A and B are shown apart, each in its own frame.
Chain A
Amino acid sequence: IAGITQAPTSQILAAGRRMTLRCTQDMRHNAMYWYRQDLGLGLRLIHYSNTAGTTGKGEVPDGYSVSRANTDDFPLTLASAVPSQTSVYFCASSEEGLAETGELFFGEGSRLTVL
Chain B
Amino acid sequence: GQNIDQPTEMTATEGAIVQINCTYQTSGFNGLFWYQQHAGEAPTFLSYNVLDGLEEKGRFSSFLSRSKGYSYLLLKELQMKDSASYLCAVTDSNYQLIWGAGTKLIIKP
**Are B42 and A101 neighbours in the complex by a CB distance under 8 Å?**
no
> Inside 8 A of B102's CB, which chain A residues have their CB?
42
For the complex, count residues of A whose C-beta is within 8 A of B.
20
B50 at the interface (CB under 8 A from A): yes
What DSSP secondary structure best describes chain A's contact surface?
A: loop
**Are A42 and B99 neighbours in the complex by a CB distance under 8 Å?**
yes
The 6 residue pairs across chains A and B that have the minimum distance between CB atoms: A42-B99, A106-B42, A43-B99, A101-B31, A98-B95, A103-B45
**Are B100 and A104 neighbours in the complex by a CB distance under 8 Å?**
no
**Are A101 and B41 neighbours in the complex by a CB distance under 8 Å?**
no
> Inside 8 A of A45's CB, which chain B residues have their CB?
96-97
A106 to B36, CA, bound (A): 11
A99 at the interface (CB under 8 A from B): yes
> Inside 8 A of B33's CB, which chain A residues have their CB?
103-104
Chain A stretch 23-57: residues in CB contact (< 8 A) with chain B: 40-45
A45 to B50, CA, bound (A): 22
A108 at the interface (CB under 8 A from B): yes
A41 to B85, CA, bound (A): 12
B44 at the interface (CB under 8 A from A): yes
B101 at the interface (CB under 8 A from A): yes
**Are B87 and A108 neighbours in the complex by a CB distance under 8 Å?**
no
Chain A stretch 4-39: residues in CB contact (< 8 A) with chain B: none
Can you give 23 contacting A-B residue pairs, CB < 8 Å? A42-B98, A42-B99, A42-B102, A43-B87, A44-B99, A58-B96, A59-B96, A90-B42, A99-B95, A101-B30, A101-B95, A103-B33, A104-B35, A104-B43, A104-B97, A105-B45, A106-B43, A107-B42, A108-B41, A108-B42, A109-B40, A109-B41, A109-B42
